[in-house]
Structures are given as C-alpha cells and as structure tokens.
Structure 1
C-alpha cells in the first residue's frame, strides 16, 4: 500500500507545482507559460486581453501606452518621428496594418489599432486587437481607456486629476498676467497653406482652451471650434492671429512667410507675443506631450512674455 501511495504523492506534488507556476508542458516537452487575462470592454465589444501585456504593437495611441510604461515592440511611423519619444522608441520596429508578416515576427500579445484601419480581423488572429476611433473620446478619457486596457486605471485617473489641477492653476496665473480678455490662437505652417485649430486638435489646444480656459479669437471660434481645424491662405493670417499666437512651426516646410510684411505687421508679432512649438513634437495629446506643452505654456506666458 505504501509503495503505491508514495509515487502518487510525488506525482501530485509535481502537478501542484506546475499549477502554481502557471505553466504547462507541451508534447515536445517544452514549457509554456500561460498569461493571465481579463475582459476589456472595447468600443467593439468585450475582448480578452493580457493582464500584464509584455509585447505591445501600437498602430495608434502609441504615446498613450508609452506614458504608462508599456513595452512597445512595434510603432506607427508618425509616432516614431516625434522627437519627444525618440529615446523611448530606440530599437522599436516601425509597422503598419499592412505589415502582417513583420507584426507576426514581433510576437505581440496585444495590438492597439485604429477602427479605420485595414486587416483588423487578421490582426486579431495574431494577438488580441483593441481598436479606438480617433476623436470619439476626449483627450483625458482616451488616456483613462488606455489605462484600463493596460490594467493601470487607478494610476491613470490619479494623473488626470493632478494634471487638471495643475493646468487650471497655471491658467489662472496666465489670465492674471495677460488679462482675462486676451485671445490666443494656435496656427500651423504648411507647404502652401496654414491651419488654425479649435480646442481639441492637439498642438496644446486642449490645454490652452479646455484646461486653462484661455480665449480664442472670434474668427477662430467661428470657423475652427466645431470642425477642430480650418485651412486658410497666408493673406488671412492677420484675421486669425490673436493677441498671442502659438505657432506650430513645421521644420520640413517653407517658412519664408515669416519674412513677409503680412506676418511682420501682425500685432502679436510686433509685440513679441508669438511662441513657437515644433509641429512634430506637438501633434498628440498623451501625458508625455501634455506635460511638455504645459511646461511650455507656463514658461512662455509667465516667464518670457
């Protein structure tokens, strides 16, 4: 009886040990570690995702995931060219929804994609794929959703609350200095045209208009607030320039307009109330970018203006 009991006991210990390590043995005697999952309520329905994703391919919302310390192994080309993320993205592969073979090679356990992208079904076959629709959520709610997806909801909500408080305090200080009625416009240079932005199109607009509650010129409010962006020609620059201008300057385009009389005669230019930001470093609304632009706003409005 004892001879039968001892082998059985030994076998039971092995089984319990394997369960405790959350590992299973394949037919070829290799060990496979199982990943814990939870159900994330995505905009397309519930989906099982890793509780602690180890290899994330972010075809969109990469900066939001980076801000939460996600291990990004694949990133979209636009995020990759952003100077704010250069250090964090060293060695990360640039991919798109068309690069299915390369994505397979990266062995992701989670993929983040845009709802407009192709091959969503095929991406789902590689790893759980969560899609987001750009603009469906406001900039802070979007970050909270990424926090939920990466199982970091609590710390994300804490950051949101803290950021809102700091931005509001900075906004009050700025209004006290420049005046409550002073207007601010955010203008970007293009190849042959210009863009002016409403209150939810990155370039710091969410901070300036939503968090800080600074005022935009009436012309900007009329043409860009609802749509988010309005395109115009250089001759119209004076019409869209506020008392203060945040110039999103694209280093890759012709910026000779800054030498023209039209530009030089704008009151904000004459009064040295134009603050330049790098377009490539300001086209997202993730925590890394928001923190950078909040400090930019404080430094320029409160210190150099």
Structure 2
C-alpha cells in the first residue's frame, strides 16, 4: 500500500507540473504574439495610414531624406545616387548600397523593413509589396517640419524636435553676428550651373537657400524673388545674370560641370564679383536640406559672412 501511495503521489506531481508547464507555455505564446504585434505601428502618411516598424533597422531611401535618417541614427541600407555621391554622407552610408526605384530586384535583395521616397517616385505600388513605403511631396512641409515628420515616422519625434529647437537657436545667434557684419539690408543670390543651364534659386530649393533666407533671414534680390515665385527656381542666361545678382553671390558648384560663365566679362563685371563677395560651395555637399546639410551650411555661411 505504501508503494502504491508513493506512486500515486509521484503521478500527481507530474500531472500538476505538466499543467503548470502548459500554463507557462500558453503565457509565453501569448507574450510572443503580443511582442510581435507591438513591432509595428500605424503612421498617418499623406497618402493614408501605413503599418511601419516601431524601430526601423533596414531603411531604403530613394530620394532626399538620407541625411534626415542619419541625423536620427536610423540605419540606411540603400540610398539614391545623389545621396551616395555626397562626400559628407560617405561615413554614414559606408554600409549602404546605391539604389534606384527602377531596379526593384536590387531593393528586394537589401531586405528593407521601410522604404522612404518622394511622391514622384516610380513603381510605388511595386515598392509597397517589398516593404512598407512612405512618400512625401517635396515642399509640402518646410524643411524643419519635414524633419519632424520623418522623426514621427521612425519613432524619434522628440529627437527631431530637439534638433530643430537647437538649430533655430544657433541660427538666431548667427543671424545677429552676420547682420552686424554685412548690414541688415545686404542681399544674397544663389546660382548654379546644372546640366548646362544656369539657375537662380528661391528660399526652399536646397543649395543652402533654406539657411540663407529662412533661418538667417538674409534678403533675396527683388528680381530673383519675383522670378522664382512660381517654381522655386528660375533658369536664365549668363548675359542677364547681373540683373539677378545680390550684394553677395553663393555659387553652388560642381567642378565637373561647365562653369565657363565665371570666365566671361559679364560675370567678372558684376559688382559682387569685383568686390570679392562670392562664396563657392560644393553642389554635392549643399544639394539637400536635411539636418546634416543645413548644419554644415550654417557653419560655412557664418564663417564666411563674419570673417
């Protein structure tokens, strides 16, 4: 009888252990499911709600926003050609591959968990099948609000807002120093020869324009302001360039482009050129308006205008 009682007791312990183990297993399965569902969140994009990763780890950027992601310490595994050719992005994109919306296989191989692009991107429906895809219309939000919006997308809104607040403070300090040096009414033009065509730019077209006109509140020549109102930029011939020149000129320059306009008498006789009020900047380094680019531009402009 004793042996039977011991056996029954052992059997009871085994049964209770199995039940307990099953309950623990059920709890674990439930927790795993909950954790899995918590890995995505809903982001309200301009084209509707999109399920995106809570913490993106493999982002493909097809246009414009690589610098925003790098500033927020979000890993970029693929970026557009312009971003990849930017010397200031070299370190941050050292592990990224150059990608294009036209090469879907290449993007698929990178196994992205999020794709970001401009609204003009091609194959957007096919991109959505590869990974959650969010697009933005260029200029719909200003460059600071755009950074905050990307911060919302990648779950780093606070970090984005902190950068914006700090940037505004630094820009205000620079504005005072610059205007104390060059005066309150000094005007600045931004010009570039792109694809054999000369352009002047408004206040939201990269090339440092956001910093000059929006952050530092430097003046744009009246004729430039009038002609860029429609598109944000204006194409012109080198012969009429003097009409669009401010007291200072910023030349966005790619050394491999045709910059022969700078050798003409028309250019050399512009008062700003004769007064040595010309700042040449790297087109590739100044092309975008993300935090990394505008921080660099702010430093360059502050140094130049206050020297």
- Note the C-alpha offset of 1:159: 0.8
1:127 maps to what in 2? 131
2:56 maps to what in 1? 53
Q: If the length of structure 1 is used for normalisation, what is the TM-score?
A: 0.91
Determine whether 1:268 maps to 2:292.
Answer: no
Equivalent in 23, 28, 36 of residue 12 of structure 1:
23
Deviations 1:136-183 (CA, angstroms, capped at 9, x unpaired): 111111101100001000111111111112112211221121111111
* SS of alignment partner, residue 171 of structure 1: helix
Query: Which structure 2 residues correspond to residues 1-305 of structure 1 after superposition, within 5 A?
Result: 1-17=12-28, 20=31, 22=32, 36-60=39-63, 61-303=65-307
Please identify which structure carries the higher helix content.
2
* SS of alignment partner, residue 295 of structure 2: helix
Q: Which is worse superposed, 42-51 or 191-200? A: 191-200
The unaligned stretches of length 5 or more in structure 2 are 1-11
Deviations 1:213-249 (CA, angstroms, capped at 9, x unpaired): 1111111111114421001111112111111111111
Deviations 1:50-102 (CA, angstroms, capped at 9, x unpaired): 11011111112222112211111111111111111011111311111222212
The unaligned stretches of length 5 or more in structure 1 are 25-31
Q: If the length of structure 2 is used for normalisation, what is the TM-score?
A: 0.91
CA contact (8 A) 1:248 1:278 kept: yes
- Note the C-alpha offset of 1:14: 3.8
- Note the C-alpha offset of 1:3: 2.2
Radius of gyration: which is bigger? 2
Distance 2:51 2:66 in 1: 20
RMSD, aligned α-carbons: 1.9
Q: How many residues align?
A: 295
CA contact (8 A) 1:37 1:48 kept: yes
Deviations 1:37-61 (CA, angstroms, capped at 9, x unpaired): 1111100111111110111111122
CA contact (8 A) 1:168 1:211 kept: yes
- Note the C-alpha offset of 1:257: 2.3
Change over 3 Å in CA distance of 1:35–1:105 after alignment to 2: farther
